A and B are shown apart, each in its own frame.
Chain A
């Protein structure tokens, strides 16, 4: 019987996050990289357009900004939802692949993008209102994306679901955010510092304006985002299941289901 599904301490949730990531590194990086690569190509193309002096090209560049924004949003929605689904499969002891993860969220990508935008708008307003409301919203809706991806929920439902699940667990959500933000920005800042050092030694002063440097910056950001991006979604999906285990006895329901399936299987064989 699968005993992985049980209440976890916060340390175990965080340990298991890295354990999942390390065990299925190619799966998670692949899920993260494929949509982000499309957005990268568009961003690099936009950089080229923005360097043009002609009026026509400048207009195209303005349109391009919107295209890139939408592409980046869809890429993020695609990779976050697919990561959530992949973690869910792993958590329940099942195998999955990059293709299966994308396939499972294919029809819901618009909804997921809408949820991302909606949450982003709420967080933005919350942070404008002296930060604290923004942080509070981030804590109560920390599990909205996994809930939407796994339970196929809409914008209002996934927020309600997350609010219910995070009740009494906001401290845990906060620590997960701290870990994710620290590692994400640690890696991105570290890579940026290395790129900056290489830029100033090879291209000299004013290296930031060089097209080569700007493209390299986009590529480095892509690599960094692809590598550390999945960690947050892995952690929050494990936390999502952990809250279900704690509040709803998901582990017991899961054990009952497995037992009934085993009984049905042995009945069919006999």
Chain B
């Protein structure tokens, strides 16, 4: 199972019979995006309130309050609509979390969809903290709130480089295995073994020192046992793992 399937995917068949697959955004990531957006809105409204306070001293306080209320409405509603329209389905919060609003058919949303989904936002917000929206998203298989259902939109994860299946593992200078062949019968190792070794090699610099050493030792010992290698012949754990990964890659064949 890959992550896309875990989180939930949505597939669209184009007229050219090409299946486009999208990773649906869940309640958690959408919550984070909307939290950032509301914080930004709060800052904008705070600045507007300060400006209004300065105006209220010289102009009519009643008109200042009326103007301020109008501006707050524009910020509350217009913020999402404007950003989603001009930033191709993204707000600052969605851009930061790498989410995007799209139409049900996979196309970019227009101003009408942006307006509709954000008009309904007030209902999703009821009675507090998006309670209605959360319940609807929890029930809906595509994690849509009422605004999405009304506008025919979806919120999806953007596919970035972090989703790429293949990760390069760059060996440390001086420790990398130069020869493309090793003296061991690597046919005794499986694709799973390669996956484990590659996972370790790609993550080793993120691990804490002790955890890195222990994991390398255990993994290398596991491979030594499978290949019947003596520790004295290959004393450096990470170098052995690098050599094996390289040899397995070099000798890999692809089957359809």
Measuring CB to CB, which residues of chain A are less than 8 angstroms from any residue of chain B? 1-4, 6-7, 9-19, 22, 175, 178-179, 182-183, 185-187, 189-190, 193-194, 246-249, 251-253, 255-256, 259-260, 262
Contact B28 A1 (CB under 8 A): no
Query: Which of B27, B207, B212 has a CB less than 8 Å from the CB of A14?
Result: B27
Tell me the B residues contacting A by CB distance below 8 Å: 1-3, 6-8, 25-29, 31-32, 35, 97-98, 126-131, 134, 138, 157, 162, 192-193, 195-196, 199-200, 203, 206-208, 211-212, 215, 218-219, 222
B8 / chain A contacts, CB cutoff of 8 Å: 19
Residues in B with CB closer than 8 Å to A19 are: 6-8, 26
Which chain A positions have C-beta within 8 A of B218?
253, 256
> When chains A and B are docked, how far (Å) is the Cα of A246 from the Cα of B206?
7
Question: Across the interface, do B211 and A15 meet the contact criterion of CB distance under 8 Å?
Answer: no
Contact assessment for A14 and B28 in the assembled complex, using a CB-CB cutoff below 8 Å: yes
Separation in Å of the A196 CB from the closest CB of chain B?
Answer: 11
Instruction: Judge whether B27 and A249 touch: CB under 8 Å.
Output: no
Residues of A within 8 A of B157 (CB): 11
**A6 vs B192: C-alpha distance in the bound complex, in angstroms?**
15
Instruction: Verify A15–B128 contact, CB threshold 8 A.
Output: no
> Do A256 and B1 touch (CB < 8 A)?
no
Residues on B with beta carbons closer than 8 Å to the beta carbon of A18: 26-28, 138
A249 and B32 form a contact (CB under 8 A): no
Q: Which residues of B contact A178 (CB under 8 A)?
A: 35
Residues of chain B contacted by A9 (CB below 8 angstroms) = 162
Dominant SS among interface residues on chain A = helix
The chain A residue sitting closest to B125, CB to CB, is A186
CA distance A8 to B91 in the complex (A): 23
**Which residues of A are found within 8 Å of B203, using beta-carbon distances?**
7, 249, 252
Q: Are A15 and B199 in contact (CB under 8 A)?
A: no
| B6 proximity list for chain A (CB < 8 A) | 4, 16, 19
The verdict on A17 contacting B196 (CB below 8 Å), with A189-B127, A252-B203 known, is no
B28:A11 contact, CB within 8 angstroms: yes
A188 CB to nearest chain B CB (Å): 10
**Which residues on B sit within 8 Å (CB–CB) of A255?**
192, 195-196, 199
Question: Are A15 and B196 closer than 8 Å at their CB atoms?
Answer: no
* Cα A22 to Cα B143 with chains together (Å): 11
CA gap between A170 and B2 in the complex, in Å: 28
- Minimum CB–CB distance for A24 against chain B, Å: 13
- In angstroms, Cα B192 to Cα A1, docked, is 8
Contact, CB under 8 Å: A183 / B129:
yes
Interface centre among A1, A178, A256 (most CB of B within 10 A): A256
Contacts of A13 in B (CB 8 A): 28
* Contact partners of A175 in chain B: CB under 8 A: 32, 35
Complex Cα distance A190/B215, Å? 49
Q: Which B-chain residue is minimally distant from A178 (CB atoms)?
A: B35
Q: B215 to A183, Cβ gap below 8 A? A: no
6 A-B pairs whose Cβ atoms sit less than 8 Å apart in the complex: A1-B192, A15-B26, A18-B28, A186-B128, A186-B129, A251-B199
- A241 → B minimal CB distance (Å): 14
9 closest Cβ pairs, A-B complex: A14-B28, A186-B129, A15-B26, A11-B29, A190-B127, A15-B28, A18-B27, A190-B131, A248-B211
Report if A14-B199 is in contact (Cβ < 8 Å); known contacts: A248-B208, A252-B219. no
- CB pair A1–B195 under 8 Å, yes or no, is yes
Smallest beta-carbon distance B164→chain A, Å: 14
Nearest-neighbour CB distance to chain B for A14, whole angstroms, equals 2
Please measure, in the bound complex, the distance between the C-alpha atom of A259 and the C-alpha atom of B3, giving whole angstroms: 21
Q: What is the bound-complex CA distance between A185 and B29, given in angstroms?
A: 19
Please give the distance in Å from A168's CB to the nearest CB on chain B: 10
Q: Which residues of chain A come closer than 8 Å to B206, judged between CB atoms?
A: 7, 246
Q: Shortest beta-carbon distance, B137 to chain A, in Å?
A: 8
> Which residues does chain A contribute within 8 Å of B212, judged by CB atoms?
249
Query: Which of B26, B162, B195 has its CB near the most chain A CB atoms (within 10 A)?
Result: B26
Residue picked from B128, B138, B208, most chain A C-beta under 10 Å: B128
Rounded to whole Å, the gap between the CB of B208 and the closest CB of chain A is 5
B200 touches A259 (CB 8 A): no
The docked-state distance in angstroms from the alpha carbon of A179 to that of B30 is: 11
B229 to chain A, nearest CB (A): 17
Tell me whether A17 and B222 are in contact (CB under 8 A). no
Q: Given contacts A16-B7, A189-B128, A190-B127, is CB(A260)–CB(B222) below 8 Å?
A: yes
Question: Residues of A contacting B98 with CB < 8 Å?
Answer: 11
14 extra interface residue pairs, beta carbon distance < 8 Å, beyond A2-B1, A3-B3: A3-B2, A4-B6, A6-B3, A11-B98, A16-B28, A18-B27, A179-B31, A186-B134, A190-B126, A193-B128, A246-B206, A249-B203, A249-B207, A253-B215
